Structure 1
Amino acid sequence: MKATQNPPTTGTVTPADLLRMAALYLRRHGWHQGTYYPTTAPAGCPTPPACAVGAIGMAVAGHRVDHFYSLDFGTQVAFRTAVGVFTTHLDDYEPICAVDDDGFLIDEHTSPYAWNDDPGRTAEQVITALESAADDWDSLHTDGGEN
């Protein structure tokens, strides 16, 4: 390739890429509990602190979106897939076992919302879990670093 040629800039963005971007977003802009983004953040603030799922949304959409169902179909699929990969990782490594009064399991999956909002949770735990989920996805879906 000659120096005047532009290298290709397109490529496949994987759920692992989105999870790593979400972790980086939290490192740069802060972590939040209770909602996707704090209600005290100014409406025009392009990069408010976010919860784990809000950070995934920022990675997918590239901007603050309070209702991800309003996004176009492809963006929704990418968002739901990344959240699903994160949820699977939490199920495997950070399960929340909620049991009802009769001893039956209430949820078969760990909610990333409830997990993020646990009063004992820290930003570093959330960031580490996002990065670990990305590593898990890569280990199952890539061959020698290639898709």
Structure 2
Amino acid sequence: MKATQKPPTTAPVTPADLLRMAALYLRRHGWHQGTYYNALFPADHPTPPACAAGAIGIACAGHRVEHFSQLDGDTLADYLAALAAFVDYLDDFAPVFHIDEDGYLLDEHTSPYSWNDDPARTAEQVVTALEAAADEWDRLHVQGGENR
């Protein structure tokens, strides 16, 4: 870096940061099942109740996102990294196995969508899982305050 360049003043946003932002969003604006956002709120409502994936999308984009394909390149990469960290956590700590009628495993990864939409799921479980996934990401990727 040259002496005339200003050093960066902010740290990069990590998947853990985005998962914590998603958890905070759900605490403040409510949780939803079945779709990204509660359809009782109009499309132009900035803060509808959201599912876990919808809240991660809002944390990444800063606004409501109907589908991850609407995100630009960098934001999409952040979204996919945060969602992957959440799936990794669910795989390790709250696995959901889908077995076909012949007894074969259909999917080796827990779907955050079906996990969120389980009729027995509660808002507190979703918020807690997002926060725990963030803690797990930090445990695996951060050492002494620095990213590994």
TM-score (norm 2): 0.91
Q: Which has the higher strand share?
A: 2
Supply the AA of the counterpart residue of 1:115. Answer: W
> Could you tell me how far apart the structure 2 residues matched to 1:109 and 1:71 are?
24
Tell me how many residue pairs correspond in the alignment: 140
Query: Deviations along 1:28-58, whole A, 9 cap, x unmatched?
Result: 0000000000111122211100000000000
CA-atom RMSD in angstroms: 1.0
Cross-structure match for 1:64: 64
1:38 aligns to 2:45 (yes or no): no
1:29 aligns to 2:1 (yes or no): no
Cross-structure match for 1:3: none
**Secondary structure of the equivalent of 2:104?**
coil
Instruction: State the identity as a percent.
Output: 68
> Could you tell me how far apart the structure 2 residues matched to 1:96 and 1:34 are?
17
Shift in Å, 1:144: 1.5
Query: Deviations along 1:98-123, whole A, 9 cap, x unmatched?
Result: 11111111110000000000000000
> Could you tell me how far apart the structure 2 residues matched to 1:114 and 1:25 are?
20
Supply the AA of the counterpart residue of 1:60. Answer: C
- Give the 4+ runs in structure 1 shifted more than 3 A: none
TM-score (norm 1): 0.92
